[in-house]
Amino acid sequence: MDVKIGVLALQGDVSEHIDAFSAALAGRGCGKASTVVEVRNPVDLDGCSALALPGGESTTISRLIERNGLYEPIRTFKGGIFATCAGMVLMATDAADPRIHTLGLMDMTVDRNAFGRQKESFEADIPVIGLDGGPFHAIFIRAPVVTAAGAGVHVLATLDRGIVAAEKGRYMALAFHPELGGDLRLHERFLKNLGI
């Protein structure tokens, strides 16, 4: 099967997401014509089965989503969405920050920078519900947590400050950065959930 995946390429760790999804598509046995493309404008979403919302600065990414006319196209996008860190903030219903127009695709409240500033970044081996092969080595960089999750949001992993991984149907939101660590199990699980 040839699959096209988009990575929102307005700000943040875009190339790492492209590399990780390219490897994950190969790992899922997808066809050689499968592609991972940068999404900057609504037309770039055409034909995509999934979209990655990268880590970065959620206030900046939110502003650029609006500027590029992508807010409604992402909200109504029919494919899967794989959101990491700043992406998780954008997926929420409430980020308690007026500069961020959240997409509201997952019923959850997020606490941005819940672990403190850049120097409080850390790595941890965390158990993820339903993930075979042992704990996931997760990299947290100025990470958010989910402090409240509502209807349909399935919690996958929690640390002392709150929820750090969640799924809702075709959406996955992670407070950490699986695109940085080389472990593709979460990417592959996300693709499998989509029937890819």
Q: Within 129-188, which residues bind ligand GLN (CB under 6 A)?
A: 141-142, 144
Single residue of 85, 108, 126, 186 touching ligand GLN by CB under 6 A: 85
Q: Is 38 a catalytic residue?
A: no
SS3 content of the chain, % helix, strand, coil (to 5): 30, 30, 45
Q: How many residues in the chain?
A: 196
Single residue of 11, 34, 49, 58 touching ligand GLN by CB under 6 A: 58
Lookup: tokens for 100 = 């961020």
The site that binds ligand GLN (CB under 6 A) totals a number of residues, namely: 12
CB atoms within 10 A of CB 65: 23
Q: Is 179 a catalytic residue?
A: yes
Annotated catalytic residue within 30, 85, 167, 187 = 85
**H helix or E strand, kind and range, residue 186:** helix 185-193
Single residue of 83, 86, 164, 166 touching ligand GLN by CB under 6 A: 86
| Rg of the chain (C-alpha set) | 15
Whose tokens are 């988009």? That residue is 6
**Does residue 55 belong to the site contacting ligand GLN (CB under 6 A)?**
yes
Single residue of 35, 68, 93, 113 touching ligand GLN by CB under 6 A: 113
Annotated catalytic residue within 16, 17, 30, 177 = 177
Single residue of 8, 53, 89, 105 touching ligand GLN by CB under 6 A: 89
The DSSP result for 128-149, as a single string, is -TT-SSS-EEEEESS--EEEEE
Q: Is 177 a catalytic residue?
A: yes
- DSSP code of residue 44: G
Applying CB under 6 A, which residues contact ligand GLN?
Answer: 55-58, 85-86, 89, 112-113, 141-142, 144
Supply the residues annotated as catalytic: 85, 177, 179
